Structure 1
């Protein structure tokens, strides 16, 4: 069984989390057709920092 790899171009690390491509595209560039992308720990940490306010706003809309 092959492990998933980080989808960030040039990164060969093992996938840590899967996130929505719509938000991840604001930080990194991915395939336009993808709906979800795999990120390694390092890129996931950067994704969280860069999208924190938008993710909080989305959660507030759900309430």
Structure 2
């Protein structure tokens, strides 16, 4: 079984796994898991949309 992207309406093959809470800020997701799979295009968009949140999380300023 081929794994596909967890973004609603996308049927591309998965590329990366990311935390679902950050991915929900950028996309509407198919599942309520703690980690989700994104295709290459959605992963690139995810990185752009969540850069500030990820930087804050790395610094421990949640």
Both structures adopt the same fold (TM-score exceeding 0.5) = yes
2:6–2:30: 8 Å Cα contact kept in structure 1? Answer: no
Distance 1:6 1:56 in 2: 24
The 3-state SS of whatever aligns with 1:18 is: strand
Moved over 4 A (4+): none
Structure 1: which 5+ residue stretches go unaligned?
Answer: none
Q: 1:32 to 1:7 in 2, by over 3 A?
A: closer
Please report the RMSD computed on the Cα atoms of aligned residues, expressed in angstroms: 1.6
User: What TM-score do you get using the length of structure 1 for normalisation?
Assistant: 0.87
Distance 1:32 1:3 in 2: 17
| CA positional deviation for 1:29 | 1.4
Q: 1:31 to 1:8 in 2, by over 3 A?
A: closer
Structure 2: which 5+ residue stretches go unaligned?
Answer: none
User: What TM-score do you get using the length of structure 2 for normalisation?
Assistant: 0.88
Rg bigger for which structure?
A: 1
| CA positional deviation for 1:14 | 0.4
